[in-house]
């Protein structure tokens, strides 16, 4: 996954302490991938962070689940419609 390019790129430093064993393992993995420890850590942290964000923002479902959800949305219970209309027509603190 590539980082989006911007017109003006500013870099900032991230520092951390690590025990010798973990640094050795990370260093070996970076060497296997023919990259620096910094680039290895940055790329893997970025990929993991992107996945965490995607997991929180994207809903994944099967075609059957999607069809079922659409049917529910297309025919909500009438009581829910009454409550929704009341909610949409009631003034809130944000309306002032």
Is residue 71 situated within a structural domain?
yes
Mean pLDDT of the chain: 87
Comparing CA positions, the residue from 61, 58, 54, 38 lying closest to residue 1 is 54
Is residue 84 situated within a structural domain?
yes
Most confident of 4-13, 31-40, 76-85: 31-40
Is 90 exceeded by the pLDDT of residue 8? no
Domains identified in the chain, total number: 1
Overall pTM > 0.85: no
Is residue 25 situated within a structural domain?
yes
Distance CA 40, CA 34 (A): 9
Comparing CA positions, the residue from 49, 48, 27 lying closest to residue 38 is 27
Is residue 83 situated within a structural domain?
yes
Cα 69–70–75 angle (5° rounding)?
Answer: 100
Structural domain including 50 reads: 20-90
């Amino acid at each position: 996954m590539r980082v989006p390019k911007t017109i003006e790129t500013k870099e900032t430093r991230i520092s951390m302490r690590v025990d010798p064993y973990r640094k050795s393992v990370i260093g070996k993995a970076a060497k296997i991938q023919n990259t620096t420890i910094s680039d290895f850590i940055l790329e893997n942290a970025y990929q993991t962070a992107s996945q965490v964000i995607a997991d929180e923002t994207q809903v994944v479902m099967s075609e059957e689940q999607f069809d079922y959800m659409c049917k529910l949305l297309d025919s909500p219970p009438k009581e829910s419609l009454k409550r929704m209309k009341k909610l949409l027509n009631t003034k809130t603190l944000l309306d002032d």
